[in-house]
A and B are shown apart, each in its own frame.
Chain A
Amino acid sequence: MIASLRKADILLFFSFLALAALIAALPLVRVSGGSDEKVRIISGGELVGIYPLENDIEVEVKHDGHLNIVSIKDKKVYMEYSDCRNQICVHTGEITRPGDTIVCLPNYVIVEITGSEGGGDENDSVDVIAK
């Protein structure tokens, strides 16, 4: 039976092994290269901006005379300030994971963390509809 093996068999065997090893090595490179998580801010149904989770920034969101300040710091996002009545968004505290959201209903502001590339947009639109 071993004798029936051909050179091409052995070659194919090792090419499959090499392919598996190559792909197994891929995600390691990507993870160490940093994540692709983004922070999306939507105000009154319109996209205010998309910011990388890595960079610390304060974003002022003005809409219909209302003001919200979103803070991105140390890969965490929180609502720094809101002039809304209930302050639920401010009390939501920090969000860190893809899919997490901060919602300020009185001012129509949604802050959410989206995951890495691909597929994400579909899921996001579903989330917005569900809300």
Chain B
Amino acid sequence: MTPSMSSPNDSSPARRIALTGLLAALALIFSYVEVLFPLNAGIPGIKLGLANLVPLVIMYRMDARYAFAANLIRVLLAGLLFSGLFAALYSLAGSCVSFLIMYLLKKTDRFSIIGVSMAGGVFHNLGQLAVAIILVSGPQLIHYMPVLILSGMAAGIIVGIGAFVLVERLPAKLFL
């Protein structure tokens, strides 16, 4: 799309598919780890979002398209495996909004990976809230927004620090 991104188009389709599958599997493992060891600070429905490490790092070290594809597959599979179809839809909305925001913020080149991750965490929660407001048709749900913003910030910053450490240690053009 843009020249700044290393284009995956020069690699063969088979290689791209294999890579995407590999990355989706990696992301799915993070989701699984989080199911096994939920870190929710005592507030139900709030979690760290460890799996967001994968698209974040891919975005910085590979290509946003790989990040998006792997994340989409991860969300659908994790939703169906661990939480059910309905929760998967919530997750999907949250992660799509979150991904879009992270992609745009990264593109501005004014934010560190920690800031990008923080915004991603916040908008993941807000995307889910938006779906909840539409489905439950309850605008009063907006009262949950402060909690969701703060928890999204905290989770995003923690994941962002992890991503920062990883990105620093990985080669600039991972797999490409």
Q: Please report A residues at the B interface, Cβ cutoff 8 Å.
A: 1, 4-9, 12-13, 16-17, 19-21, 23-24, 26-27, 116-119, 122
Contacts and interface: CB of A to CB of B under 8 A. Distances in A.
A99 to B, nearest CB: 14
Mostly, the B contact residues are helix
Nearest to B149: A20
Given A23-B142, A118-B140, A6 B111 contact: yes
25 contacts: A1-B114, A4-B114, A4-B164, A5-B114, A5-B115, A8-B108, A8-B110, A9-B112, A12-B118, A12-B119, A13-B115, A16-B122, A17-B153, A20-B146, A20-B149, A20-B150, A21-B146, A23-B143, A23-B146, A23-B149, A26-B142, A26-B143, A116-B140, A118-B137, A118-B140
Interface of B: 108, 110-115, 118-119, 122, 136-140, 142-143, 145-146, 149-150, 153, 161, 164-165
Contacts of A17: 150, 153
B115 A6 contact: yes
Nearest to A12: B115
A117 B137 CA distance: 11
Nearest to B148: A20
